[in-house]
Amino acid sequence: EVQLVESGGHLVQPGGSLRLSCAASGFTFSTYWMTWVRQAPGKGLEWVANIRPDGNEKSYAESMKGRFTISRDNAKNTLYLQMSSLRAEDTAVYYCGREGLLLGAFDIWGHGTMVTVSS
């Protein structure tokens, strides 16, 4: 079964750091672009970052540049999101997603992990 499972979300103080993980299974992880999307409570979807299959090209939404770092370990079939200088407005469910090979769109999503930034 094709699956993405996120972990690592929890309560963190403003200014703190957190690393999220996304474990992939059921497909050849190393051949896909991967992405992070977030959703603040009661709000819409916001793209965060993506990464090329070999990990050598990364892109970020403007508001995350310099604070978030996306990475991957193809040997472990795992995607990461290192977040630092966290703000209250970063509070959200963070989803990892697979960018479909011939689709362009995000065809597989994990169930998400909740990050709460609060003192």
Sign of the CA dihedral running 106, 42, 63, 111: negative
Q: How many other CB atoms are found less than 10 A from the CB of residue 29?
A: 22
Interface stretch with another protein, choices 9-17, 19-27, 46-54, 84-92 (CB under 8 A): 46-54
Binding status of residue 113 toward another protein by CB under 8 A: no
Binding status of residue 105 toward another protein by CB under 8 A: yes
Interface stretch with another protein, choices 8-16, 18-26, 74-82, 98-106 (CB under 8 A): 98-106
List 83's β-bridge partners, or say none: 18, 68
Binding status of residue 59 toward another protein by CB under 8 A: yes
What binding mask, one character per residue, do residues 67-86 give for another protein by CB under 8 A, x or -?
Answer: --------------------
CB 74 within 8 A of CB 94: no
Cα–Cα distance between 44 and 46 in angstroms, integer? Answer: 7
